[in-house]
Amino acid sequence: MVIHKGEQFAIPFEVKINDNIVTPYDIDGLRIKVDNILEEWPDGTLELDDVNNVWLFWLEESETLNMFSGRRPAQIAVKIGDNIIKSDVFDLDVKSSIITESWSDG
C-alpha cells in the first residue's frame, strides 16, 4: 500500500484470523494503527466494507500531510472476549508530494 502525502482516502485492510475474514459478528473490538494514528471499531471510524470484505481506515488530507515520508509502521489488534490477537508490525509506504494545497469548492 502506498500513501501519498496530501491524499484523503480509506486504506482497505483485509483482517483475517486463521484464514477467516473478520467481521463485526466475530469480534468484540478492532484496532488498526498506522504510524501514530489509531482507529477503532466499534467506538471509532473503522468500518467494514462487506462487499469487498475489508475494513476501511479513513485518512484525512491533514493526517497524510503530517506523516513522514518513507516506510511507516502499522499493526492490527483484534479483541475477542478477553483475548487480544495482534498482527506483526508491518510497513506502509508514504510518498512525498509537492502538491499539498487543498482543493477548493468554488
CA distances from 51 to 17, 23, 46 (A): 19, 12, 15
Looking at every residue in the chain, the average pLDDT score rounds to 92
d(CA 27, CA 48): 12
Mean pLDDT, residues 53-81 taken together: 94
Residue 53 corresponds to which cell in the numbers above?
470484505
Does the predicted model carry a pTM greater than 0.75?
yes
DSSP category for residue 106: -
Give the list of residues 6+ apart from residue 52 with CB closer than 8 angstroms, or none: 12
pLDDT number for residue 82: 97
What is the CATH T-level fold of the domain 2-95, as seen in this structure? Immunoglobulin-like (2.60.40)
* 69 DSSP assignment: S
The pLDDT confidence band at residue 60, using thresholds 50, 70 and 90, is very high
